[in-house]
Structure 1
Amino acid sequence: MTDRRARAQARQDVHDPDGVRLQKVLAGAGFGSRRACEGLIADGRVSVDGVQVSELGVRVDPQRAVIHVNGLRVQLDDSVVTLALHKPAGVYSSMSDENGRPDLSQFVADRTERLFHVGRLDAETTGLMLLTNDGELAHRLTHPSFEVPKTYVAQVEGKVARGLGHQLKQGTELEDGPVRVDEFTVIETTPQASVVEVVLHEGRNHIVRRLLAEVGHPVTHLSRTSIGPIRLGHLKVGRTRVIEGRELGRLMSSVGL
């Protein structure tokens, strides 16, 4: 098949004559002016439903087409929202706590979407949580098969031995089975206490606290600083921010969307 025929076949596969021009869709999604988006298309950096598109006449249905730019998914549905939340201590990972305890709903009371949380943090653990109304994204972020890494910073009791990281990467047996960390870094250590960073993709309850207690370093403070490519950064405690654009694209692409 010649290049011309291949391009024509690709255009036929993804072109929706009743749709919106692809460059207009991309411009509306924040990828620059229409002229800049035409450049992205002409350079072969855009795909629609898995097909690379390089022709400027292609039209798509924004509600149905799966579009990627530079390999990152573009979210075109304005009704879908994903938020990052810096959860304070003393708040339970629920949108409506049945016992009337402080829950996550207080931080999104001004939003009209029906949001649910992705994963959990125990009440005393602070840090990053994701709230979304995108059911497929939430499912993939929490399903073990996608192995989304999560990063925690923990203050623990005692001085951490030099070889502990290697030990944790090899695996530690807990009462509900073994766990292996992906990365372990000692940030600071003294004879009395240490600060460590732990990266793992496990999602079992209290997994970081139980793991560090098992190796002789009970946690005195714990915070989650990232979920996949999303980082807590300088987000203030109790505040939220919308995850959108390229950041959202990286998150979606990290779980195959």
Structure 2
Amino acid sequence: MRSSGSGKSGGRGNYRGAGNNRDQKQGQGRPRKPRPEERRYDVGPGASQDGPKSGRGGAARGGPKGGPKRPQEPRRGAGQGRTAPARSREYEARAEERNRERYAGKKDVKLPKTFPGAEQEGERLQKVLARAGYGSRRACEELIEQARVEVNGEIVLEQGLRVDPEKDEIRVDGLTVATQSYQFFSLNKPAGVVSTMEDPEGRQSLGDYVTNRETRLFHVGRLDTETEGVILLTNHGELAHRLTHPRYGVKKTYLAHIVGPIPRDLGKRLKDGIQLEDGYARADHFRVVEQTGKNYLVEVTLHEGRKHIVRRMLAEAGFPVDKLVRTAFGPITLGDQKSGWLRRLSNTEVGMLMREVDL
């Protein structure tokens, strides 16, 4: 039977036993490192040499690897001593009441749109231009960079300017920009349609072509029931008023079919003036467009807007009109627009109309 206290085979048993002195022999030559359970996590001036030094690693600061965290003291600003005592609710209520009494009778100060504190008023200029149909916002920013945009008569050179589309006058290349609140249409009125928005007798009228519009539109001027061609519809009252006012003299162009032969001086007679029941009527321009035998297609331009003016002038000159078409109202032309078709005017066309009547 082997002895547990002697021989080489008993060395392992002695090592596992509680009475061996191996650790003591190893500790005589150099200091023993502390075991994990013996390590200290003291930090700061009182840290032991065995534990981690102050400020080393996250564990020493109480980081994610463990260790006690030190309570952080609130930082104090320069010149601060002790924390000010909290105000009572009663004191806060009295202060608020005093402020209300102080500003009760004062009006709100309205800052200009370019003031740094008024950025929230209005819309950005490039956004208004983009909505009006001048392209993307980036394209509208390029218009501003090219000094082609004016607001209230001044050229805009800065990006992000805020404007009020309802009050500010915005122009691009000298033409007024039509904002979204206004609508402008051109209708090629067919023959037989009454130039009213609603007819009490049940006849077809201009209103039948815009029944699906949310905004109420009205027509600019009139055309005879049997006369075809351009008639404008809008909700811009001032523009409609000026377009029909004799003071601004907006020209209208007509194509009339008459039966000849016609004398060479017919154009001169019309330009000099034809005596009618309600006074002289003069044409601004006259020319023969087409002739087929005795059938003539003539063009008459005038700035008056009296009832049946073209028909009465030609009839008084001895040439009753068989068919009449208005091909232009100011800068708005009929082009290839088909009979009965309604189209929205472009911003350029609206700008030309407004320039025609000084808007």
Q: Is this a same-fold pair by TM over 0.5?
A: yes
Matched ranges for 1:33-52 at <5 A: 33-52=136-155
On the 8 A contact 1:116/1:131 being kept in 2, the answer is: yes
On the 8 A contact 2:189/2:229 being kept in 1, the answer is: yes
Residue 63 of structure 1 and its aligned partner are, at CA, apart by 2.6
Residue 181 of structure 1 and its aligned partner are, at CA, apart by 1.0
Residue 187 of structure 1 and its aligned partner are, at CA, apart by 0.8
RMSD value over aligned CA atoms? Answer: 2.0
Partner in structure 2 of residue 81 of structure 1: 183
Match of 1:109 among 195, 211, 214: 211
Q: Deviations over 1:129-158 (max 9, x none)?
A: 111111111111111111111010000121
Residue 57 of structure 1 and its aligned partner are, at CA, apart by 4.5
Give, as a single letter, the amino acid of the residue that structure 1 aligns with 2:137: R
Q: Deviations over 1:105-152 (max 9, x none)?
A: 222222222111111111111111111111111111111111111010
Match of 2:256 among 136, 150, 154: 154
Partner in structure 2 of residue 8 of structure 1: none
On the 8 A contact 1:159/1:189 being kept in 2, the answer is: no
Partner in structure 2 of residue 59 of structure 1: 162
Partner in structure 1 of residue 230 of structure 2: 128
Q: Identity across aligned pairs (percent)?
A: 55
Runs of 4 or more off by more than 4 Å in structure 1? none
- Is 1:210 the counterpart of 2:312? The answer is yes
Q: Report the TM-score, using the length of structure 2 for normalisation.
A: 0.64
Match of 1:32 among 109, 131, 135: 135
Cα separation, 2, equivalents of 1:14 and 1:183: 48
- Relative contact order higher in (CA < 8 Å, ≥ 6 apart): 1
Partner in structure 2 of residue 173 of structure 1: 275
Match of 2:125 among 22, 27, 33: 22
Q: Report the TM-score, using the length of structure 1 for normalisation.
A: 0.88
On the 8 A contact 1:14/1:48 being kept in 2, the answer is: no
Partner in structure 1 of residue 65 of structure 2: none
Q: Which has the larger radius of gyration?
A: 2
Residue 235 of structure 1 and its aligned partner are, at CA, apart by 1.4
Cα separation, 2, equivalents of 1:44 and 1:252: 21
Cα separation, 2, equivalents of 1:27 and 1:112: 22
Partner in structure 2 of residue 144 of structure 1: 246
Number of corresponding residues: 245
